[in-house]
Each structure stands twice: as C-alpha cells, then as structure tokens.
Chains A and B, each alone.
Chain A
Amino acid sequence: MGRVDVTMEVCGMAGDGTIAAGGLLNEAMSAGGFSVLGFDSYPAEIRGFGRCVTRSRVGTERILALVDKTNVLISLDDVQSHSRVPYLAWDAAVFFDSNPPVYVEEEMSLAARVEPGATLFAFPMADLAAAAAGTMRGRNLTALGGFAAAFSVPRDLFIEVIAKKFKAKGSRVLDANIKSFDAGYAYGLEHFSDRLRDTLKPPPGIKTGPEKVMLSGNLAIGRGALDAGLKLYFGYPITPATPIMEYLAARLPEKGGRVVQMEDEISSVGAVLGGFYAGARSMTATSGPGFALMTELITHGVMAEIPAVILNAQRGGPSTGLPTKTEQSDLHAAVFGGPGDSPRIVIAPTDVEECYRHTVMSFQLAEKYQTPVIVLTDFYLDNRVENLPMPQATESEIADANEYPDESVRGAYKRYLMTDSGISPRSIPGTEGFTFSATGLEHVEKGTPNYTEDNHMSMTEKRHRKIAGALEDLPAPVEYSRGGPLDVGVIGWGSTFGAILEAVNIANERGLNVGALKITSIFPFHGGVIRAFMNRCSEVLIPELNYEGQLANLIDHLHHKDVVRLSRATGVPISPSLILKEIETLALAGA
C-alpha cells in the first residue's frame, strides 16, 4: 500500500460555502478510509468580507499534526486565495474558477500568482453549476467534483456524504447539490489530464477496524461530559468554548440534565460548585478571560473541598488577546492562579480522543479528591476535527467516586476529618445526621472557622497531601522512543504533542536517536518519571505555544542542566518541521 499524505485547503470568501466544502471533503476522505485531521480558520469578525480557509491533511497513516505545505488548493475566490500561495508546495494542484461570478482583473487572477511548478485546474465552476442545477449556489460542490475527478476519488464517497448532509433539507436541495457535484466531476473526467490520477484513490484494504466518526475536540468534550453523567452545565459564551455549551444545550435535557447560560463566568463556576456540593455532576467551560474571573471561586473549591470541573479552552492572550487564535499560555494560571496555597488538579488532553477521555476522567477525579479539576485544551484542539472510532467510557470510568461518611459517625460528623490520604468523607445535603457547613475560611475538622497557627499548617498540609495523592489516578507520561540514552528528548503537552511526535518519528527515520515524552497530567505531575526521562537525554527540548515556556517553567528544575525551550507565540499551531529543525540542530551540536 503506497503511503498517502496530502494536505488540502479550500479557500473562499465568507458566503462561498468554503467551510461546508471543507467539511464534505473531510467526511468523504474519512469514508474512504483515510486518516483525517482538519482545522478551519476564520476571522473574528462575524460578517464582512472575511476569508475562510479549511485545511485538512489526509493520509494512510494516522495524521498527528498539520504541516506547513499545502498540496491541493481548491479556490472559490481568487483574491482571497492569494494569501495561500506562499503555503503551497512547489508542485501543488490548484483548482479555481475560470469564469468566477465576481470579475477578477487578469493580474489578480490566481493563475497569475502561483509558481511554475504547480498544476492548474481551471474550470468554469459557476457556469457548470448553473447549467446543471439552475443555480450557481452549488458551485463549491462543483469544485469538489472537479477535484474528485482529478484525484480519482470515487464519486460514491462524495455522493454518500452529500446525501447525509443535505437529506434533511429535502429532495430538491439534495438533487441540486448532487447535480452541481456531478457537473464538476464529469467535466474533470473529460478535461483534466491523468497526471494526478490515483493519488487519492483509497488503497485496497485501507478500511479496517470499527467505523470512524468525524469529531472535533469540542464535540468530544461535550460527548464525554454527557457519557460521564453530567447533570448541570453552567456557562457564559466565549470563543472557543461556546460550542460545548451549544452541544450540551441540545443534548443534556434529553438525559434529564440542564444547561443554564449564566450572567458571567463567576456565577457559572459558582453554580458549578453549588451543584457539585449538592451532589450533582456539574461543569463549566470557558477560555482565558473567563477563567481569570473564575479563579477566586476555584480556590474556594480548594479550601472548602468542593468538586468542580472547569474546562479552559485556551486562546491567545493576555486579556481579550487573540480570540480566534490558538495558544497554550494559561498553564501558569491553571496551576497557580488565585490566592493562597491552593493545589488543584490540572490535566491537558493532546488529541480529540483524549478530549473525550480526560473529560470523562475529570468528574471522578473531582469527586474522589473533592477539588476543582481544570481541563486545559486550546483553540486548535477544540476546533480541529479528527476521524476516529467513537470513544466509549466504561461503567467503572463513570461510577460515583464520592467517599461518603460512615454510619458510625452519624451525629458526630467531621466534614474535614484529618486522614492519611487527606480525603475526608463528604456528605451530600439532604442526608440526615451528617449536616455541616463548608467554608472558604480556614477551619478545623468540624468545619468551624479557626485561624490558629498549628491548625492552618496542618490543614494546608492535608490539602496538599490530598492533591499529591491524586497522582496515582492520573495518567502517567507516555514515552515514544527506542529506549536507552537519547541524543534529544522532546517533552510536550496539549495540542502541540502531535507535531512533536511526528518530528521525532521523522528524526528517527533519518537516523537520529531521539524520543518524545507526552505529559497530560500537568498538576500534580509525575516528577520521578519526567526526571528519569530527562536524565537519559543529552538535551531536553520543550516546544510550546507560549512565550514564557510555561511547562518548561514547571518542570525544568527536574533536569540537571537547562532545558531548551522552543516557545512560539504566533497564534497558529506549531509545525513538525520547525520542531524537527530544532531537534537536528541540537543533535548535531551534541554529536
């Protein structure tokens, strides 16, 4: 089976159907058995003449990251697509409308801008759509038809996903869309050279394993919360976390739960604490600015020992920052944010499947350790789509993890009982004989406020002991290497890890001896495992999408020498090639 690895883009103006075409493209490639990773970009402005770009990478092996160079550009607007030209591979295939609905000056046409190595597929998309369907609205599908013909993608794959997308809109709309697609497909078969034929034809035997679904990080989070038995969701709209609230608003009521859009992020997390205090699994999702507002109540959850699940979908910051750009710069805020010594659990998934698994896990962690659990994702992870078998939580993964007080202490219940583990059995309001008051003031075992020296010291120790103990339930770092001493060890977290792993794989294929370490438990973290890995590496490299090197700041004391930071504050995902270059530089310097 030949290795396929193609990066494709659809680019157009808002209103051209760009995002819809990109979505269909991903679905069709997934249906063909390819691994798909897609990520759309759009401007923060809702209306206006915004440029829309969908990017997806498809391949026969699992796609870990997006890459710099685009192999296929399907343009629905010449002028908007100019901006994509620098990203094209030298031998890219470029599809564009030879008679676009909006007149383009000759020197502004896409054909005039691309490099000589590119193959141009010019065809009258709008005219073909109009002739076939009576309207040029399906021109984006005509473009896909031309693409499918040129790359020998079976027509059926597209027809199947088009039918799925449009069947709810009635047979007339569906018919028009299929006709539009077919017009482009027929034109392509007749006119396009067969130079590129077969490049995206699904190889035989590629479809193996269970059926795959196209899932974004945000949807995986919403689905994970539903499967984990979420009862209450409180939230406030904020990019890029809003789709989680919208998904749950549609799905949670049918499971007997509720979604309440609150007046701000403070009340959202406050209601989450109230909900969990009264025994209901509750969560909120936000982004940096909203997370900042939540910090005081998060530390209340730490002090009063109340569970909470808070998802922070990071975006560019500080302040309002770059609302539609990606960044990993809230790690400090998640781990350290807020007043006092306030340990809490912070976990960070690295791909769409982990978005599901970590969300599920967060509810049990919150209950068992009676603490706010912060799940850190970012714009890129939330909005990218991957095709994967639908993840499923097991019964034991969603079981009640509360530890309730023993019958023997009825009437003499101490909410903050001092224990070796730091976990004090928690009673739920409504339970007779175990009333207590929870408080954000320092308190004695019974819960009454107390500011004496020894008490504050021992209660602070208890809270830290409890969180440190959570390590046994947190996912350990995962190493990808041949083992033994390594020239370069690359440590990563969050959405960046896919690019790290791809770079490490390529480096090893090129004969270097390097390894990658994936960290998803940000706090508490597995210091022993991380230290042992670092000590086997001549150089440790930590690439992150932030300027300060926030993970590096957290763990660099574990290494006997300075770690090398590859810190990117660009708002866009890091590419494997950039990491690879750094790995090669470090390996050569050490050789």
Chain B
Amino acid sequence: MKTSARDLARKVQGIGEAKTFEVRSSELPTWCPGCGYFGIHHGMNDCIRKLGIPLHKVVTVSGIGCAGRYPFFTKTYGLHTVHGRAVPVATGVKLANPELTVYAVGGDGDGLAIGGGHLPHVCRRDVDINYVLFDNSIYGLTKGQPSPSSPQGMKSKASPMGTTDKPLNPTLLALSYGASFVARLFAGDKKMISDVLLEGTKHRGFALFHIYSTCVTFDKSYKTWENLKKWIHPLPETHDPTDLRQAFDRVLEDDWSVGVIFKREQPE
C-alpha cells in the first residue's frame, strides 16, 4: 500500500480534526505508512484526552523498537529507555510519584524476548502502571526477524528454513502471572482501544493491553490487515471478565477474541 503526500496530508488533517493533536506531538511518527501503530497511537491519544488529566501528569516510558519511538509522538512527559526495560523504569517513575499516570509501551520483541523476565514480576507486584504491548509478531526496526510471538515455521532472512520455536501468548502469560487487568485489542479498532485503555487506566493496579497489530513492510503473510480483519472478533457478550477461570478458557480456546479478558476488582 502506497500513500501519497496528499493522502498523508489529508490524513493528518483528519486526525487534527479528531482533536488528537491535543495529545500527540507535532513530530511525524517514524512508522511506515499503513502501520498498525498509527491506530494504537490514535486510540491512546483519544484515551488520554478523555481521561481529562493534564498532560504534564502523564509519563510515557518506552523501550527500543518501532514502538520505542512512541514518547516523541506525544505531548506527555516521555522516557525512551533501552531495549526491554520500559516496565522496570516505569515502575520507578510510578513509585516516585504516584500522582502520575504512567504508560509503558513497547513491542513484542522488547516485552516478550529481551524484557520478558520483567512481565511476571510487574504482574505480581501489581504496580499501577499501564503496559501497552504492540504485538506485530516481528522485529520491524531490524528488518524482519522472527519474534517470540511469530508463528512456528516463519521464514525470514534469519530463519531461512522456518522457525522451530513455538509462539508465546502474552495474554495467557499475564493471566498466569496474576495480572489484575488483562485486555486484548486490535490496532484496527481505535474506538475499542480508546475505551478499554480508559477503563484499564482507571483500574487500580497493573494493566496489560495486548494489541494485535500489523507490520505492513516485513510481514506479507501472517498478521496482514486482511487476515487480522478476518480473524479478529469481539469477546462474546456472555464473557464475564471478573471470572478468572472463564478468562483462561476463553484465551485457551480462541486466539483472536478482543476486549477486556480479565479484571480483578481492587480494594481502595
């Protein structure tokens, strides 16, 4: 998909009209045209606007990767750290000043491979930070290597015979680690991202937002827009997010349902 300068200008104007420039900065995101991260960006900005808290009370912490650049694209305070460490750094920020609303953002390589060791502990520590995991199942910034959420058999320059490792399921991991708020979302559904992020941000305790996204440049066969749109569907209306057993069942039997998977009511 190619985007002309005029299309881009029209898009930017459209975003401006949607008031997202209240939150997003004037820096032009470094993501490829058509990238799913634009949708996540839009949804997050919309959520922060609706939260109604001043931007100087919000801190966005990131690691390294395509999602790592995120802090430059927002008007909140930002902290672009090193590969895999957004979550522990965000923990320090939140404990230093609990009045701040803290987002940690990062990709699947950042959060599940190099930084994977932090996920269990931030879940059990239940620090009130909001972790937005941009999952496109690929290393985009280093040009297309398999990530911990890539499907088994994925062929790439780094895996010419296809990968042999099985993919991780971050939603299932977070449930197992005892996370108190777990949501699965889709980069193509900005409205749901905004709504669920708003609910999760208000949740007292750690919140994981696992967002399926695309890499339009390096993934032409798996998480394409076409496939994702075909696969993704909302959780059934009967789903009770306060029931952990149901949450596990749902995630075990269905990879592609999105919405609030689990939410534990927290004491004041």
Contact = CB atoms under 8 A, between A and B. Distances in A.
User: Are these two chains actual partners, yes or no?
Assistant: yes
Interface of A: 231-232, 234, 258, 260, 262-264, 266-268, 270-280, 282, 296-297, 300, 304, 429-441, 447-449
29 contacts: A232-B95, A234-B92, A258-B95, A263-B117, A264-B117, A266-B85, A267-B87, A270-B89, A274-B90, A275-B93, A275-B95, A276-B92, A278-B96, A278-B100, A280-B97, A304-B80, A429-B100, A430-B97, A431-B56, A435-B55, A435-B56, A435-B76, A437-B60, A437-B78, A439-B78, A439-B79, A439-B80, A448-B72, A449-B69
A304 B79 contact: yes
B18 interface: no
Contacts of A280: 95-97
Contacts of B61: 274
Most A CB within 10 A of own CB, among B56, B76, B95, B97: B95
Given A429-B57, A430-B77, 6 more contacts: A260-B125, A267-B121, A273-B92, A278-B96, A429-B59, A435-B76
B16 interface: no
- Which of A258, A262, A276, A282: most chain B CB closer than 10 A? A262
B14 interface: no
A540 to B, nearest CB: 40
Contact of B75 (A271, A275, A435, A441): A435
Nearest to B76: A435
B92 A429 contact: no
Contacts of A234: 92
B149 interface: no
Given A296-B82, A438-B78, A441-B80, A272 B92 contact: yes
Contacts of A260: 91, 95, 125
A436 B85 contact: no
Contacts of A274: 61, 79, 88-96
A276 B95 CA distance: 10
A432 B81 CA distance: 22
Given A263-B121, A437-B79, A439-B80, A278 B97 contact: yes
A438 B90 CA distance: 13
Contacts of B204: none
Chief secondary structure at chain B's binding surface: helix
A274 B27 CA distance: 24
A274 B82 CA distance: 12
Contacts of A440: 80-82
B99 interface: yes
B118 interface: yes
Contacts of A447: 72
A300 B71 CA distance: 16
Nearest to A271: B92
A430 B79 contact: no
B54 A432 contact: yes
Contacts of A232: 92, 95-96
Contact of A270 (B54, B71, B85): B85
Contact of A266 (B56, B88, B92): B88
Contacts of B72: 437, 439, 447-449
- Most interface-central of B79, B90, B118 (chain A CB within 10 A): B79
Contacts of A433: 56
A436 to B, nearest CB: 7
Nearest to B129: A274
A475 B204 CA distance: 46
A430 B88 contact: no
7 nearest A-B pairs in the assembled complex, by CB-CB distance: A274-B92, A437-B78, A271-B92, A267-B88, A280-B96, A278-B96, A270-B88
A267 to B, nearest CB: 3
B152 to A, nearest CB: 28
A232 B54 CA distance: 26
Interface string B43-73: 0000000000011110111000000010110
Given A432-B54, A433-B56, A449-B72, A270 B81 contact: yes
Contacts of A436: 77-78
Contacts of A278: 59, 92-94, 96-97, 100
B88 A262 contact: yes
A297 B61 CA distance: 14
A232 B93 CA distance: 10
A317 B173 CA distance: 37
Interface centre among B90, B92, B99 (most CB of A within 10 A): B92
Contacts of B120: 263
B78 to A, nearest CB: 3
Interface in B122-160: 125
Nearest to B30: A449
Interface centre among A232, A278, A282 (most CB of B within 10 A): A278
A530 B96 CA distance: 40
A583 B70 CA distance: 60
Nearest to A278: B96
A1 B81 CA distance: 62
A550 to B, nearest CB: 26
Contact of B89 (A271, A431, A448): A271
Nearest to A267: B88
A123 to B, nearest CB: 55
Given A304-B79, A429-B77, A429-B93, A271 B88 contact: yes
A219 to B, nearest CB: 25
A435 B71 CA distance: 11
B80 A437 contact: yes
B80 A267 contact: no
Interface in B86-116: 87-97, 99-100
Contacts of B27: 448
A430 B98 CA distance: 11
A130 to B, nearest CB: 50
Contacts of B95: 232, 258, 260, 271, 274-275, 280
